Amino acid sequence: MKKVCVIGSLLVVLTLSLGGSAVSKGTDTGATYEQLRLFTEVLSIVQNQYVDEVPPKELIYSAIKGTLRGLDPHSSFLDPDSYKEMQVETSGSFGGLGIEITLKDDILTVVSPIEGTPAYRAGLHTWTEPKDFDITREQIRVHSVRSQDLGNGIAYIKLRQFQEQSPHDLDQALEKFDKNGMKALVLDLRNNPGGLLTAAVEVSEKFIDDGKLVVYTEGRVRNQNMRFSAHAKKGYSKIPMVILVNQGSASASEIVAGALQDWGRAMVVGTQTFGKGSVQTIIPLSDGSGLRLTTAKYFTPKGRSIHGKGITPDIVVEAPKDPAPKDRPLPSPDPMEDLKKDVQLQRALDVIKTMRLIEQQRPEGGQPQAQAPSPTQTTTR
């Protein structure tokens, strides 16, 4: 992988962390400063005449937040506490509810809960209408990889988030399965809201050939135009593979699913993904706060922008609606029992069986036929 920048992350969004900022050559600085006179005029009036006295820092912070809110749902201002918390989250340990949220059509919207957190136990997921929940915060430690041997040489790996340690943890799981004779893989990215761009690229490059494009970004400023290609020392580019996705699969998850789908490397099974295809730059500010600004969009290897649309699975399989929290059965002590009830996973296993049959029937020395064909929905937006 070509590492061209330092990477940071938020739980909900894919972010590129670049120190400093750049001013576009097309910016009319004269007009900008003229409008700043109006801003300072309003600020002075508020400070002197507003019914309650407001500290200057609070006024400035509110003004910055309002400016960014008017741009897009993913640009925002991080006060010093939020900025520090964001830096901690990349390690997989943080205080909170464990809920991934974003603004969609100016409405605060649930992307997905993190498995094993207060939000997950309360039964939160994307709703079509508002609902009330009482949830208590706690210290959350997210283990990004969970694995299970499904038998018959089929490995199951669930990737919950793309953290700093995720590629390493995935490597360990894959090596363990490989030693035990892994013949096929199901990679579960359902309810994975994303995370680090580098982690998404490092995960993708384990399953595609060296040198192949994983993702590229395009922005207004030249240093936001980047290409990330596979450069893995050891890969699993031939093993039959299925990726599971749903509406909670966002950002970095869509990069992985999109890259492997474009290269015909894996069949994608499940439901339409979230559709988060923009890149945010995290810029540290002088007082310890930070600016999260949308600076680019990313594209799959074949030039697809999934922003606002998501990735369409090769095989659409709807999951049964979750029961209300009070009616939800307790998890089985045997993980296999819960997996056997998973209709999307069971369909993935059917696909794996078909892939393996095709692989067995192909002529010796011929090209592998267990790879998914490129989807018909590979149009460029």
Short-list 86, 120, 83, CA closest to 284: 83
Angle, to 10 degrees, between the axis of helix 252-262 and the axis of helix 197-204?
A: 30
CA 240 to chain centre: 24
CA 45 to chain centre: 43
> Quick one: 131 exposed, middle or buried, by C-beta within 10 A (0-12, 13-18, 19+)?
exposed
- Return d(Cα 246, Cα 341) in angstroms, integer: 17
DSSP state of 111: E
Q: Residues 18-50, buried b or exposed e (16+ Cβ, 10 A)?
A: beeeeeeeeeeeeeeeeeeeeeeeeeeeeeeee
Give the residue numbers annotated as catalytic, written as ranges.
Answer: 251, 262, 276
- Return d(Cα 100, Cα 14) in angstroms, integer: 12
Short-list 205, 12, 199, CA closest to 119: 12
Q: Residues 319-354, buried b or exposed e (16+ Cβ, 10 A)?
A: eeeeeeeeeeeeeeeeeeeebeebebbebbbebbee
Q: What CA dihedral angle connects 313, 296, 167 and 359, to 10 degrees?
A: 30
Angle, to 10 degrees, between the axis of helix 29-49 and the axis of helix 56-69?
A: 130
Question: Which runs of consecutive H residues, i.e. helices, occur in 222-342?
Answer: 252-262, 335-340
Question: Which runs of consecutive H residues, i.e. helices, occur in 209-277?
Answer: 252-262
